[in-house]
């Protein structure tokens, strides 16, 4: 209930339902009762009103029904209970990676399909890191290399084929057989899943060992990598053995070696049989080892501990205008004196949209910004301020170019701090604050920007790693396109054997290329990553020998729709469109995807404009796709 004056100047009282104002009539009663001239009685304004009136000493206050918690607040301006959009709060009330939907009096959080909440983060429980990665072994069974093979080489371990014929077997005379896998980069592994063959030989895998490390696996180097698991139980036919490592292991090369206790070196079947994902089985003394599939999974929340933010040393500060005297220049913002007494920054008179900026000295993932108000005066000067963070050096013409991470809603009292928590962390090097008090004028210069200190907290990821906002951790970036299935709209007949689509994902940036046919007006190349990946960076490497200008008006698409024809390419959204020339000879076009894109299929299509058709061909050395 509030007091208002009608057209005659008489005091009137009002109580509220949601969205409606009910005038009760003129009276002289104060607080939470009014005189009803119809019934000629005093009545409680709570009768049927949306807002609740509470008597206080010398007055009253209006509140909203408690059933809605903090979802409704009383608005003095609108004189009613209004909904609070919790989804606009910073930080978000929802887990990292979740979508927030505002409801009347409340809100709802939802993770993407397939994700669950772990440690206040939407996560995808398992990622098969081994899928279609390079695999090799100490030997291959002769039954896997004949005219009608029933098995294959070590690549069968990572082909995602769980059928009986999709396994690997070592040679009968290899008493210490092993198979190995290259994960493509250093990874932190917390669990394995080994799948057994369905048709036979469950007893062949016994006392096997898994090793993981940084040494490429060969007969002479197998023992160089640390042992991370030793087998203690058999795997039934068609079954799966889940291996959860006591402590996450770090490495690039994974091996599985068997140590079967059989005595006879002439056992009739000495073999290691592994299917899909890349591990190594070794059979000793003629014993046989069989496994239909071996899948390597990585669990983000177990493998990658959350980064620990710390204070960032701020080394340089500058501002839009200089202070009127030498005691209050921009360097005072980073001198460590928090109370502002004798050390603070103040913008100059006539600067009606003043700003100040600090350099973090490198790109950080910033988790917190703290603004310290002066303790001696001028609390009213910081109003409607905006804090921005990004990679653009702030100036009078560029101060708005970086992303806003905080907008001031409430005043900051003298000598206090405004703590701004950024969830998820925001990457950037340059931090700025700009005051927007330009509509206020007076003898106290209320439009001036006055602050005592700026502090920032955050972290950096190791080289070759990046921050996965969805998981809330730093994780290694792996080239998930290497060795994957690739195809194209056409291949140049002049080099069909050496410039096919598979050459674009063979891991070679030099001495290898893909080239489309000159008669193909809009050539394209597609790659199947084998599973949905969280992609953060794509690199297109130009050939070293020629043709850097042939990549023109290209479009890169990523999604989950299979690419079966030129018409089907449009089924996936575009994530990059080329403007300007392509990369120089031997250089790379780097495409950063922020936020990351989850996709399985990629396509790169050229739309050249050269008058000679041959100059519109799609030709480049390598396509690299980096994902978590």
The string over 306-315, giving b where at least 16 C-beta atoms fall within 10 Å of a residue's C-beta and e elsewhere, is ebebeebebe
Q: What is the pLDDT of residue 59?
A: 67
Give the pair of three-digit tokens for residue 253.
């090369």
How many other CB atoms are there within 10 angstroms of residue 431's CB atom? 26
Q: Is 559 helix (H, G, I), strand (E, B) or coil?
A: strand
Do residues 485 and 606 lie in contact, with contact meaning Cβ atoms separated by under 8 Å?
no
76 class by beta-carbon count within 10 Å (0-12 exposed, 13-18 middle, 19+ buried): exposed
For residues 225 and 216, what is the distance between their CA atoms, to the nearest angstrom?
Answer: 9
Give the pair of three-digit tokens for residue 273.
């049989």
| Nearest CA among 108, 103, 240 for reference residue 162 | 240
Q: What is the pLDDT of residue 281?
A: 26
CATH, domain range 135-303: 2.60.120.260
Do residues 56 and 62 lie in contact, with contact meaning Cβ atoms separated by under 8 Å?
no
Q: What is the pLDDT of residue 363?
A: 87
DSSP 166: S
Q: What is the pLDDT of residue 286?
A: 27
- Going from the first residue of the chain to its last (628 residues), give the mean pLDDT of each consecutive group of 10, the final group possibly shorter: 36 33 32 53 48 67 60 66 80 77 82 62 60 85 72 78 68 80 74 72 78 90 88 74 68 82 33 30 28 33 60 92 78 85 81 91 91 84 88 92 89 88 89 78 64 92 72 73 92 91 92 91 92 87 87 91 90 89 88 85 86 75 89
DSSP 156: G
For residues 341 and 41, what is the distance between their CA atoms, to the nearest angstrom?
Answer: 60
> Per the CATH hierarchy, to which homologous superfamily does domain 479-627 belong?
Galactose-binding domain-like (2.60.120.260)
**Per DSSP, which regions of 138-288 are E strands?**
178-195, 209-213, 227-230, 240-257
Helix-strand-coil percent breakdown of the chain, rounded to 5?
10, 40, 50
Q: Is 75 helix (H, G, I), strand (E, B) or coil?
A: strand
**6: Cα separation from own chain's centroid:** 57
Do residues 189 and 249 lie in contact, with contact meaning Cβ atoms separated by under 8 Å?
yes
| Nearest CA among 595, 299, 298, 296 for reference residue 467 | 595
How many other CB atoms are there within 10 angstroms of residue 160's CB atom? 16
| Nearest CA among 508, 516, 461 for reference residue 624 | 508
List 118's β-bridge partners, or say none.
121
What Å distances lie between residue 589 and 293, 499, 541, 578, CA to CA?
37, 20, 6, 10
Q: How many CA atoms lie within 13 A of 46 on its CB side?
A: 12
Class of the CATH domain delimited by 86-123: mainly beta
Residue 295: which residues within 8 A CB-CB, separation 6 or more?
128, 130, 192, 193, 194, 195, 240, 276, 277
For residues 80 and 525, what is the distance between their CA atoms, to the nearest angstrom?
Answer: 60
For residues 577 and 586, what is the distance between their CA atoms, to the nearest angstrom?
Answer: 21
Q: What is the pLDDT of residue 266?
A: 26
CATH, domain range 310-460: 2.60.120.260
Question: Residue ranges per domain, the chain?
Answer: 2-83, 86-123, 135-303, 310-460, 479-627
Residue 74: which residues within 8 A CB-CB, separation 6 or more?
51, 62, 63, 64, 80, 81, 82
The phi-psi region of residue 367 (left if phi > 0; otherwise alpha if psi is between -120 and 50; otherwise beta) is: alpha
Show the 3-state SS of 393-447: CCCCCCCCCCEEEEECCCCCCCCCEEEEEEEEEEEEEEEEEECCCCCCCCCCCCC
| Nearest CA among 98, 105, 57, 59 for reference residue 84 | 105
CA angle 492, 496, 502 (to 5 degrees): 100
List 191's β-bridge partners, or say none.
244, 297
Residue 233: which residues within 8 A CB-CB, separation 6 or more?
241
Domain 135-303 in the same topology as domain 86-123: no
């Amino acid at each position: 209930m509030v007091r208002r004056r009608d057209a005659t100047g008489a005091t009137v009282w009002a109580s509220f339902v949601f969205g409606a104002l009910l005038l009760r009539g003129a009276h002289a009663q104060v607080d939470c009762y009014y005189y009803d001239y119809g019934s000629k009685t005093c009545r409680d304004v709570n009768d049927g009103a949306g807002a609740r009136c509470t008597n206080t000493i010398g007055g009253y206050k209006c509140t909203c029904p408690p059933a809605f918690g903090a979802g409704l607040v009383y608005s003095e301006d609108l004189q009613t209970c209004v909904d609070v959009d919790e989804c606009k709060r910073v930080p978000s009330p929802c887990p990292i990676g979740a979508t927030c939907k505002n409801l009347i009096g409340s809100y709802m959080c939802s993770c993407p399909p397939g994700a669950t909440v772990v440690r206040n983060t939407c996560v995808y429980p398992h990622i098969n890191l081994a899928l279609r990665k390079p695999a090799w072994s100490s030997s291959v069974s002769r039954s896997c290399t004949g005219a009608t093979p029933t098995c294959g080489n070590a690549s069968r371990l990572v082909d995602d084929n769980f059928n009986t014929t999709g396994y690997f077997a070592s040679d009968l005379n290899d008493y210490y057989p092993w198979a190995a896998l290259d994960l493509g980069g250093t990874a932190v592994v917390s669990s394995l899943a080994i799948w057994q063959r369905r048709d036979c030989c469950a007893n062949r895998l016994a006392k096997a060992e898994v090793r993981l490390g940084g040494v490429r696996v060969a007969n002479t180097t197998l023992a160089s990598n640390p042992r991370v698991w030793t087998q203690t139980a058999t795997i039934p036919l068609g079954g799966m053995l889940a291996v959860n490592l006591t402590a996450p292991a770090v490495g690039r090369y994974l091996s599985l070696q068997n140590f079967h206790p059989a005595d006879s070196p002439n056992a009739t079947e000495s073999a290691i049989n592994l299917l899909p994902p890349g591990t190594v089985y070794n059979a000793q003394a003629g014993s046989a080892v069989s496994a239909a599939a071996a899948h390597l999974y990585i669990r983000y929340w177990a493998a990658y501990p959350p980064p620990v933010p710390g204070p960032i040393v701020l080394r340089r500060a500058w501002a839009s205008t200089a202070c009127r005297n030498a005691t209050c220049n921009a360097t005072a913002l980073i001198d460590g004196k928090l109370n502002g007494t004798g050390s603070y920054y103040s913008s100059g008179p006539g600067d009606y949209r003043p700003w100040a900026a600090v350099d973090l000295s490198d790109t950080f993932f910033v988790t917190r910004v703290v603004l310290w108000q002066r303790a001696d005066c001028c609390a009213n000067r910081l109003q409607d301020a905006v804090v921005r963070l990004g990679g653009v050096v702030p100036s009078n013409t560029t101060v708005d170019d970086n992303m806003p991470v905080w907008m001031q809603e409430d005043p900051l009292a003298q000598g206090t701090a405004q703590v701004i928590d950024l969830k998820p962390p925001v990457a950037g090097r340059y931090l700025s604050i700009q005051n927007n008090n330009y509509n206020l004028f007076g003898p106290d210069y209320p439009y001036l920007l006055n602050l005592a200190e700026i502090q920032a907290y955050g972290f950096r990821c190791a080289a070759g790693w990046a921050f996965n906002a969805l998981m809330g951790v730093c994780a290694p970036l792996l080239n998930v396109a290497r060795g994957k299935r690739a195809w194209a709209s056409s291949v140049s007949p002049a080099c069909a054997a050496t410039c096919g689509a598979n050459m674009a994902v063979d891991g070679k940036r030099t001495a290898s290329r893909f080239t489309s046919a000159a008669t193909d007006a809009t050539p394209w190349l597609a790659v199947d990553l084998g599973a949905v990946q969280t992609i953060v960076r794509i690199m297109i490497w130009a050939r070293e020998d020629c043709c850097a200008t042939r990549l023109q008006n290209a479009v890169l698409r990523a999604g989950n729709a299979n690419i079966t024809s030129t018409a089907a390419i449009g089924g996936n959204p575009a994530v990059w469109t080329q403007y300007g020339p392509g990369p120089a000879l031997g250089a790379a076009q780097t495409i950063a995807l922020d936020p990351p894109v989850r996709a399985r299929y990629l396509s790169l299509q050229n739309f050249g404009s050269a008058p000679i058709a041959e100059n519109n061909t799609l030709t480049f050395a390598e396509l690299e796709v980096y994902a978590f």
